[in-house]
Structure 1
Amino acid sequence: MSEPPLAPSVDVLVRLRERLLALLVLLHWRARAPLARELHRLRPGVASLLGHALAALLSTGCASLPPPDGERPRSTALEAVGHTRLAQVARASAVDADPALSGFRLLADGDQALDARIALARRAQVSLDIQYYLVAADATGRRFLRELRDAAARGVRVRLLVDDLYANDSRRLLAGLAAQANVEVRLFNPLPQRDGGVGTRVALSMHEFERINRRMHNKLFIADGSLAVIGGRNIADDYFKRGEPSNFIDMDVLCSGPVVGGFEALFDRFWNSEQVWPVQALLPEGGAAAFAHALRGLGGDPPVAPLDRFGYRPVADELDAGRLTQHFAPARLFADGPEKAATEGRPAPEAFALEGALQAMREARSQVLVATPYLVPGERGLALMRRARAKGLRVIVMTNGLAATDEPLVHWGYARYRAEMVSLGVELHELSPALGRPAAAAPGESASSMGRLHAKLAVIDGRRLLVGSMNMDRRSMRANTELGLLIDSPALAVEVTQTLQRDRDVGSYRLRPAAHDAGSVEWVAREAGREVVHPREPGVGWAQRLRLGVMSLFVAEELL
């Protein structure tokens, strides 16, 4: 290997700038750590990180993936599941329903959503097929993996598929789980650089940026091919109201019936795709003893409220009683395939998930209510809003305010469109951590915890519900694989609308055109029983606005 030149060429410096800016965006991805926390973690080694990136560009050697450890053995969903307890509960729950319909129950509360996953894992008898963007190494992640280990010890076949971007944080846990009998763990679209934190790994994998920019954002949990959970939650403390100082406001759906077969077919497509690698080829360390040691000290089960916000008992209790409370309705699955992550010599991938969601909104006749944590509408999104308003549709949008978001650069991209959205008559609301905090905490939740919107929802005409993993932004359209459901259920639509109405009324600012500044907006809230108007974005200082304004000049909108 020849030594790099002492003075890099202009072309090399341009490529360095582009890749370091891409690194900034990659560190901004939708995960449990907001950028401020990620930079705090990386701050002692920022100079080292930039040096690594420069060295990777100037040297002739680049990180590369090791060859797979033998063939990727194909496997598919097990069909002999009708005898299982979960299948029997699913049938009993649907005894009075049309067999063509699927069953759904919302999991809005963090304690109930975690209880549902634990309950399904403990009662599975044949198979668990699980797919997540993030499985953290915190208490929730370790408890989740312990349940999978215990299920495998009972003879349940466990297949776990995790996106690789943040998997290194949990590498020993994942490798330890993969060492158990009846368990197989695979990683989606792995980064060439295998060692170090996420910043270092991304920096030293920039020579494959077009590929590693594409991530698996799906969230899917299937038990015995009979019951499934989908939605917006990853597996980490702050998705189940057990994080500090912030937690995500999210939504999942427990599903049964014909739609589960579609989930299984989708999981098999990902599991057997060329974008997936066996964990043993990438994470060689790990073993049963080390895994058991990592799971010590978890304690008993997290507390669960006796009733959720809709008055339903915990899923574990209903499973033991032999029947679930569900709404039965027709549903359509919108999902991207694993090939969306392929880039070499192929045309741009189709975004089936988000395109399906947008088409459902285009078909609205009276009203569209959208909740999305990350919103960058672009000109195409604005055109969709103009057409909706021209048809006389009421359009209500809820998203995070800058003080609430964990993605300030994405928020800055959204802010470019804010005034025009309001001028079109879009009812725009921004969630604020300063408004609507509960006086009492839910089980396992700190009363001081700050809420951040993470749910991805839309209610169309008061009867159709969109729920899944996709955000209303360019990443969900172009880069990430996503999964969503369109459920034609007025009952579910009412439950979601009531939930969002509460957050909108007491926890968000309503935006309106500024009274004395054309082309600007102002923020309106009810505080202490009276209307308060803020001419500037609340909870954000001038220094942060300046810093984000400068940073946004260097980041292309299509990367947000």
Structure 2
Amino acid sequence: MNSRFGRIYPGVGVVLVVMLSLALSGCALPPLSDRPESQSIPAQQTASTRLGRAIAPLAAEHPGDSGIVFLQNAYDAFAARALLAEGADATLDVQYYIWQADITGILLLDVLYRAAERGVRVRLLLDDNGISGLDDILAALHTHPNIEVRLFNPFVVRSPKWIGYLTSFSRLNHRMHNKSFTADNQAAIIGGRNIADEYFGAGSGALFADLDVLAIGPVVNELSRDFDRYWASASAYPASAILPEPGAEDLAKVVETARECSASTEASQYVCAVSESEFLKNLLAGDLEFVWSPVSMVSDDPAKVLGEKTEKGLMSRQLAQAMGNPEHSITLVSPYFIPTKAGVEMFQKLERQGVQVRVLTNSLEANDVAMVHAGYAKYRKPLLEAGVQLFELRKVPGEEPVERSLQDNLMGSSSSSLHAKTFAVDGQRLFVGSFNFDPRSVHINTELGFVIESPELTQLMENHFEEQARVTAYEVVLDEDGDLQWIERNGDEEIRHSHDPGVGVLKRMMVSVFSFLPIEHLL
């Protein structure tokens, strides 16, 4: 290699050697021998907190059941997290795949900081792949006596992170996709939302239409135990072991940055919009109504990222067992839907048994990952031939102000990209969580969710699907010649498209090329 590249391109050999040296020297993770231990505080010990006093009478009226509230509206979802943090007196356990340094990300970090200043113990567990631009801030927060930050499956080389893939791809390809926010082991939020503006309707960009649930009752204890499992796992590294050491004044700078962010015009407009949240109004008025039902938590063993998974520890296996065998219907909402051949065969079998299968996913114009769409597109015909009803969320570009009114449904606003992950079985059981119906969720990433045994909430989700899918989505069908068609309904008007609507020929060709690549197992 030296003789060839050294003569023709003298600098190439040097660059390659430097890159390889960086990769090899930076791939070793530090030891965890000095990592401090901590566990969630039992709910019995937080019963006297403000949250505990508010929740205990409700839980006492529904022994064994958990209370659930849907958080469909983006503003409600932000308000719920902020209020839980403001209301916590003892602990905050927070776990996310993505946390961005934008309006909502900085505002929520500031809420956690203020809770720590009140004496609340804050444990923040973040996947290291989704915290771009936050290294200095997280390192500074970690110095607070009441805040501990851990990075899950971290990159040792911080910039550029992609160098880590040169020697550690098999490890770094696995990510913690879980999302949870738990206060005083009394109330928790789980679902599809990460912490970034596009999930909470902030800024001027498009919204990710998503779904979270606020939970109280016994399932919160299950979630806290699961957080402990991830917190103590072999992939959770203290921020101080990975991030550059902060300066003495860095925490003060973080606080000042948060104050400046809060005072900005865009943030002020957003906070005003959140103040009109229906969730916030109902909570302050004492009118927040929980639906009480048996709820169980399903999650992957964190050892999955290290290749130490067991069948029993796989969430996909737990989820299949918890949802049972469908007898009448399945209604599935997944932004990244790659059924694989095995999934198509399963749906074919269900349809032959008389089970109605309906699926909502993103159209090509609404999908934020074209390669994932390519993994799905090749299965559309087999699914339709099997009798599956297939809907793809439309995306109608438009400029909306930050104060925009967000629809209270799974589809979100007209400029949305679907991000909710939920499915219902037989009008009786409902799953909500982080799990996509794709190979990455099944085999590669870790996931988390709730199985809710509530006909009321299940039917609510199915009614939203029924009412909205034909209005905000294309229905994909086969014409008389067996070719795909997309039906767009605008009131009484019906438009039929013969190819993926809303995108140019170049993007459609790119998706076609991607569909032939042998990468389905990575999607």
Contact 1:398–1:431 (CA under 8 A) maintained in structure 2: yes
1:449 CA drift (Å)? 6.8
Moved more, 296-305 or 120-129: 296-305
Alignment partner for residue 83 of structure 1, among 48, 65, 75?
48
The alpha-carbon distance between structure 1 residues 211 and 371, as it changes in their structure 2 partners (threshold 3 A), is: same
- In the alignment, structure 1 segments of 5+ residues that lack a partner are 9-47
Q: Does structure 2 retain, via aligned residues, the 8 Å contact 1:437–1:507? A: no
The answer to whether the Cα contact below 8 Å between 2:127 and 2:151 also exists between their aligned partners in 1 is yes
What TM-score results when the alignment is normalised by the length of structure 2?
0.89
Q: Which moved more, 1:469-478 or 1:186-195?
A: 186-195
- Verify the 8 A CA contact 2:178 2:447 in the aligned structure 1: yes
- Matched with 2:208 is 248
Give 3-state SS (helix, strand or coil) of 1:217's partner.
coil
The question of 1:293 aligning with 2:262 is answered: no
Which AA in structure 2 matches 1:5?
A: N
1:494 corresponds, among 433, 448, 459, to: 459
Contact 1:115–1:316 at 8 Å: present in 2 too? no
Query: Aligned pair in 2 of structure 1 residues 52, 359: CA closer, same or farther (>3 Å)?
Result: farther
Deviation at 1:500, TM superposition (A): 2.7
Question: Structure 2 CA distance, aligned partners of 1:60 and 1:434?
Answer: 44
Amino acid aligned to 1:257: G
SS in 2 for 1:484: strand
Tell me which residue corresponds to 1:5: 2
Q: Does 1:202 align with 2:162?
A: yes
Question: What pairs up with 1:320-469 in 2 under 5 angstroms?
Answer: 320=284, 324-343=288-307, 346=308, 352-360=314-322, 363-434=325-396, 441-442=404-405, 450-469=415-434
Q: CA deviation at 1:206?
A: 2.4
The structural deviation recorded for 1:274 is 1.1
Distance 1:457 1:361 in 2: 12
Instruction: Kindly provide the amino acid, as one letter, of the partner of residue 34 in structure 2.
Output: E
Aligned to 2:8: none
Pairing of 1:160-175 with structure 2 (within 5 A): 160-175=124-139
Partners of 1:60 and 1:283 lie apart in 2 by 17
1:245-289 Cα shifts (integer Å, max 9, x gaps): 311000000001110110010000000111110001111243212
- Per-residue deviation, 1:498: 2.8
Cα gap change, 1:482/1:513 in structure 2, threshold over 3 Å: closer, same or farther?
Answer: same
Displacement of 1:365 after TM fit?
1.2
Q: Deviations over 1:71-91 (max 9, x none)?
A: 111100112201011011112
Alpha-carbon spacing, 1:537–1:544, altered in 2? closer, same or farther (3 Å): same
How far apart are the structure 2 equivalents of 1:411 and 1:535? 17
Secondary structure, aligned partner of 2:34: coil
User: Residue 144 and residue 410 in structure 1: after superposition, are their counterparts in 2 closer, same or farther (change >3 A)?
Assistant: same
Q: In 2, distance between residues paired with 1:360 and 1:390?
A: 23
Alignment match, 2:499: 536
**C-alpha RMSD of matched pairs (Å):** 3.0
CA distance in structure 1 between the aligned counterparts of 2:460 and 2:398, rounded to whole angstroms: 19
Distance 1:147 1:281, change over 3 A: same
What is the one-letter code of the residue matched to 1:265? Answer: R
**1:337–1:168 CA distance, 2 compared to 1 (3 A):** same
**Out of 64, 67, 73, which is 1:100 matched to?**
64
Q: One-letter code of the match for 2:503?
A: V
Asked whether 1:471 is paired with 2:436, we answer yes
| CA displacement 1:309-361 (0-9 Å, x = unmatched) | xxxx424752x556741000001211102111113xx4677663223333455
Q: Following the alignment from structure 2 to structure 1, what is the Cα–Cα distance between the partners of residues 142 and 48? A: 27
Distance 1:420 1:71, change over 3 A: same
Q: Does 1:225 align with 2:185?
A: yes
Matched, 1:258 2:223: no
Q: Give the CA deviation at 1:362.
A: 5.3
Give the whole-Å Cα distance in 2 for the aligned partners of 1:151 and 1:355.
37
Work out whether residues 362 and 384 of structure 1, in 8 Å CA contact, stay in contact via their aligned partners in 2: no
- In the alignment, is the contact (CA less than 8 A) between 1:412 and 1:552 conserved in 2? yes
SS in 2 for 1:295: helix
- Shift of the 396–435 alpha-carbon distance from structure 1 to 2, 3 Å rule, reads farther
The 1:53–1:398 alpha-carbon spacing in structure 2 relative to 1, beyond 3 Å, is: farther
Say if 1:177 and 1:426 are closer, same or farther in 2 by CA, change over 3 A.
same
* Closer/same/farther in 2, CA of residues 347 and 183 from structure 1, 3 Å limit: closer
Is 1:513 equivalent to 2:478 in the alignment? yes
- Change in Cα spacing, 1:347 to 1:306, as seen in structure 2 (3 Å) is closer
Q: Secondary structure at the match of 1:504?
A: helix
- Percent of aligned pairs with the same residue? 35
Distance 1:531 1:52, change over 3 A: farther
How many residue pairs get matched? 503
Instruction: Note if contact 1:373-1:405 (Cα within 8 Å) is conserved in structure 2.
Output: yes
Q: Is the 8 A contact 2:394 2:474 kept in 1?
A: yes
Q: 2:108 aligns with which of 120, 123, 144?
A: 144
Name the aligned partner's letter for residue 2 of structure 2: P
Contact 2:486 2:497 in 1 (8 A): yes
What displacement does 1:171 show? 1.1
Report the 3-state secondary structure (helix = DSSP H, G, I; strand = E; otherwise coil) of the residue aligned with 2:37.
Answer: coil
Counterpart Cα distance in 1 of 2:392 and 2:75: 25
Q: Which amino acid aligns with 1:392?
A: G
Cα distance change on mapping 1:185 and 1:457 into 2, 3 Å:
same
Cα distance, 1:167 vs structure 2: 2.1
Contact 2:397/2:415 (<8 A) preserved: no
Q: How much has 1:438 moved relative to structure 2? A: 9.4
Task: Give the partner amino acid of 1:333.
Answer: M
Q: Matched residues in 2 for 1:463 and 1:271: separation?
A: 33
Aligned CA distance change for structure 1 residues 499 and 105 (closer, same or farther; 3 Å): same
8 Å CA contact 1:152, 1:182 repeated in 2: yes
Contact 2:96 2:180 in 1 (8 A): yes
Q: Do the aligned partners of residues 168 and 321 (structure 1) sit closer, same or farther apart at CA in structure 2, a change above 3 Å counting? A: same
- SS of residue in 2 equivalent to 1:165: helix
- Contact in 1 for aligned 2:176/2:447 (Cα 8 Å): yes
Cα distance change of structure 1 residues 543 and 55 upon mapping to structure 2, 3 Å threshold = farther
After superposition, the Cα gap between the structure-2 partners of 1:419 and 1:7, relative to the gap in structure 1 and judged at 3 Å, is farther
Distance 1:399 1:267 in 2: 29
Alignment partners' CA distance in 2, 1:105 and 1:317: 12
CA contact (8 A) 2:27 2:167 kept: no
Q: Which amino acid aligns with 2:460?
A: E
1:5 deviation in Å? 3.1
CA apart distance, 1:204 = 3.9
Q: CA deviation at 1:57?
A: 5.5
The answer (yes or no) to whether the contact 2:23–2:166 under 8 Å persists in 1 is no
Letter in 2 for 1:260: V
Matched, 1:282 2:247: no
Structure 1 368/54 Cα, relative in aligned 2: closer, same or farther at 3 Å?
Answer: farther
